[in-house]
Amino acid sequence: MNVLLEIVKEIWLVTVEMAPYLLFGFLMAGVLSVLISKEYVRRHLGGHGWGGAIKAALVGVPMPICSCGVIPLAASLRKHGASRGATASFLASTPQTGIDSLMITYALLGWVFAVFRAVVAFVSGIICGAAVAAVSPKEELDDQACTDECCQPNQQPAIVRMLRYGFLVLPRNISKALVLGIVISGILSGLIPDNFFADKLGDSPVAMLMMLVIGIPIYVCSSASVPIALAFIKAGLSPGAALVFLITGPATNAATLTTLWQIIGKKQLTVFLLVLALCALGAGLLMNQFSPTLGVAEQVCHSAKDALGTMDYVWTLLLVLVIGAAMLPKKG
């Protein structure tokens, strides 16, 4: 019974801590969904080599698209003229971050983790895209106009599209994975004592390799991966090992890899996976190297506030309502 209460407590604390930041992230995601349209993305990702990879990473990092949503979009980008390198860069950078997941990262793990995560998503996307482009033949750009339904203009007012995407569409896409991530976080925190792995794995390379093996095949969206990473850190794993999970968990999973096999090729997929794994390990080593100086351990949230104010309950209630509405079955 005590363990069950501890699990429930941890779930509540994480939810309260992330509620205002996640709601703000949803709002900003809605704004970005209008400012950075899919049509804009399609028009600018046809370049070969570093150019296409850089533009794809620039567009992909802030876009609020999770691992599940990026797969059909990447396939559509490829179909509409994006190069193999740009497609790989977009698939590497986009699911790692999004304005919503960066806000959660800031709330639970601190500003260093949030900045580090955004930079790593951008850089790893460029490197993966350039590496894939290097082993791919040059391609002719297809300038034919897109006539698919997805390319047609939306007649709804911008504010309506922003709010609808931010508080209906995006939560519907990630709510189940997000709730699962919070529950897993509570279970890990409730069952595994704080610093359990500190003297067993800590900041050793074995811990990073373990996170790499866990992160590559499983499906976890960028927002849901943050509370799980928090639980790993509380259990004694290093910030670098947690960062490896934050990179590989959202960016790679079985569905993503099989899709990449089809749209960019087997050789390109092998290069993509190898380069992304090396980027994750390199980022983890850098995080561990600088985390004592940057005070990462002090920034990671180990418990919620001692006394909750009225607004804490308001934000949490609003988040529960948004997620609850998103998990209801669609009418019709």
For residue 255, the SS3 value is: helix
90 domain-assigned: yes
143 domain-assigned: no
Q: What total of structural domains would you count in the chain?
A: 1
142 domain-assigned: no
145 domain-assigned: no
SS (H, E, C) 11-64: HHHHHHHHHHHHHHHHHHHHHHHHHCCHHHHHHCCCCCCHHHHHHHHHHHCCCC
On the question of pLDDT at 113 being above 60, the answer is yes
48 domain-assigned: yes
Query: Which residues form the domain of 69?
Result: 2-136+152-327
pLDDT given for residue 244 in this prediction:
92
pLDDT given for residue 150 in this prediction:
43
173 domain-assigned: yes
Choose among 301, 297, 298: nearest CA to 239: 297
pLDDT given for residue 38 in this prediction:
61
On the question of pLDDT at 154 being above 70, the answer is no
Choose among 130, 75, 113, 127: nearest CA to 296: 113
78 domain-assigned: yes
pLDDT given for residue 40 in this prediction:
65
pLDDT band at 142 (very low <50, low <70, confident <90, very high): very low
pLDDT given for residue 56 in this prediction:
80
Of 1-15, 25-39, 216-230, the least confident = 25-39
On the question of pLDDT at 284 being above 50, the answer is yes
pLDDT given for residue 119 in this prediction:
92
280 domain-assigned: yes
**Residues 190-223: pLDDT tens digits?**
887 776 676 667 667 888 998 888 887 776 777 7
What average pLDDT does range 25-32 have in this prediction? Answer: 78
pLDDT given for residue 274 in this prediction:
94
On the question of pLDDT at 129 being above 80, the answer is yes
In this structure, the number of other CB atoms found within 10 A of the CB of residue 136 comes to: 20
Question: DSSP character for 119?
Answer: H
Of 44-58, 146-160, 177-191, the least confident = 146-160
What is the C-alpha separation between 303 and 197, in angstroms, rounded? 19
pLDDT given for residue 278 in this prediction:
94
Of 85-89, 297-301, 315-319, the least confident = 297-301
pLDDT band at 123 (very low <50, low <70, confident <90, very high): very high
The DSSP code sequence of 149-180 is GGGSPP-S-HHHHHHHIIIIIHHHHHHHHHHH
**Residues 228-266: pLDDT tens digits?**
888 888 888 888 998 998 888 877 776 677 777 877 888
On the question of pLDDT at 304 being above 60, the answer is no
What average pLDDT does range 84-108 have in this prediction? Answer: 84
In the chain, % of residues over pLDDT 70: 78
On the question of pLDDT at 151 being above 50, the answer is no
